[in-house]
Homo-oligomer: A and B are copies of this chain.
Amino acid sequence: MVFDESYFARHMNPITGSAIRDIFKLLGKPGMISFAGGNPSNAALEPEVIAPLAKEVIEAAGPAILQYGASEGWKPLKESAQKYLTNIGVPCEENEVLPTEGSTQGFDILLKALIDPGDVVLVEDPTFLGALQAIRTYHGIPVGVECDENGLLPDALEAAIIKHKPKLVYIIPTFQNPTGTTLPVDRRVAIADIAARYGVIVAEDDPYHDLRYEGESLPTIKSFDKEGWTVYLASFSKIISPGMRVGAMVISIPTLMRKCVIGKQSSDLHCPLLTQAIVDAYLRKGLLPEHLVRIRAGYRDQLDAMLKGFALFPEGTRYIKPEGGLFVWAKLPGNKNAVSLLEPAVESGVAYVPGTHFYAEGGHLDTLRLNFSNSPTDKISEGMEKLSKVINNN
């Protein structure tokens, strides 16, 4: 017998792996300036802080930290995450907090709990590529909802809910990936209201919440939700460490929490206790606020360097200036094609992600996503110069 494609689950057919991660493989070339990823800056990572913390939490907890733990999470982290979340505008009780492997796993578990084959999941158009992939993994059908430069349009959401009767909507309201847009307060209120009116779960994915470089922090959609329709997905990846894979879901409906705990149990039983304990200790010692001040300053400079670089782009280029996060979204003028431009760009030493990959239905070949967090400012300027030449000359 020969193992072939017919063995694979049908839902895996449209999934060919993250285009971003495939682009990563092109980046081995020395000197490549990558605007393609979504990694935090290495300068924002603190091995010198985390190393002694790791030793300390193991010594403090003893064998318990190496033993099996509860699927519901490491209790001290549930406590400190509850305080952190309440503080950033997600008031919750400890038993509403479920630690996850980044917000990636939070959304995966929510899909596992809710999605039957063929179910529509509404998403922003464009949205995070990984979310599209995760929805398809559960045989769900992602359907994009129209957005403008301020994010999701509530009227379009309501119309899509009436048309598709979904159980679930996925939204990144703050410094959205890929567009960098932030949903204004009135739209957040409207979305919470629509969710309750039609009985739709809103997955509010908010991994960039603390990475604001200007303007005032906005209340979460979850803060306007009185009945529990919003599931909040928090992540410590962008503010402490992505490699530790620690995030937390806030689920206010007890029966939904129970299903998600069961789903987590069959996914990986529980998150590693050590990484949960390190994040707990980091929060408990109050290390986060000062760290955020420092990394925000660095990211603000990087963002400024990137925005300046657009002066060299062809006339008619449009881009969205974000107030935070890690990405700038651009739309090229005329019939410029960001997909076909990628190869000459990589050849000239600069990479990005074509915007088409972020749309549920593809298309939008004139768009691209640029990440500014993973290169120093001088390299950002150099990369924008190279990229502008490629765009101007092709």
Contact = CB atoms under 8 A, between A and B. Distances in A.
A160 interface: no
Most B-side CB within 10 Å, residue of A12, A71, A256: A12
A287 to B, nearest CB: 14
Contact of A263 (B12, B243, B262, B274): B12
Nearest to A104: B269
Interface stretch (A77-85, A111-119, A375-383): A111-119
Interface string A1-36: 111110111111001111001000000000000000
Contacts of A167: 7
A75 to B, nearest CB: 13
Nearest to A40: B67
Contacts of A59: 47, 51
A325 to B, nearest CB: 16
A308 interface: no
B112 A9 contact: yes
Interface of A: 1-5, 7-12, 15-18, 21, 37-40, 42, 45-47, 50-52, 54-55, 58-59, 61-69, 71, 101-102, 104-105, 108, 112-117, 130, 133-134, 137-139, 167, 196-199, 201, 227-229, 237, 241-246, 253, 255-256, 258-259, 261-263, 265-275, 278
Contact of A269 (B11, B227, B245, B258): B245
Contacts of A255: 3-5
A153 to B, nearest CB: 22
A63 B39 contact: no
A262 B17 contact: yes
Contacts of A38: 68
17 contacts: A9-B114, A12-B112, A12-B262, A17-B258, A39-B67, A42-B64, A50-B58, A66-B243, A67-B242, A102-B268, A108-B266, A112-B137, A130-B266, A133-B265, A134-B266, A268-B268, A272-B275
A273 B244 CA distance: 6
Contacts of A237: 68
A66 B52 contact: no
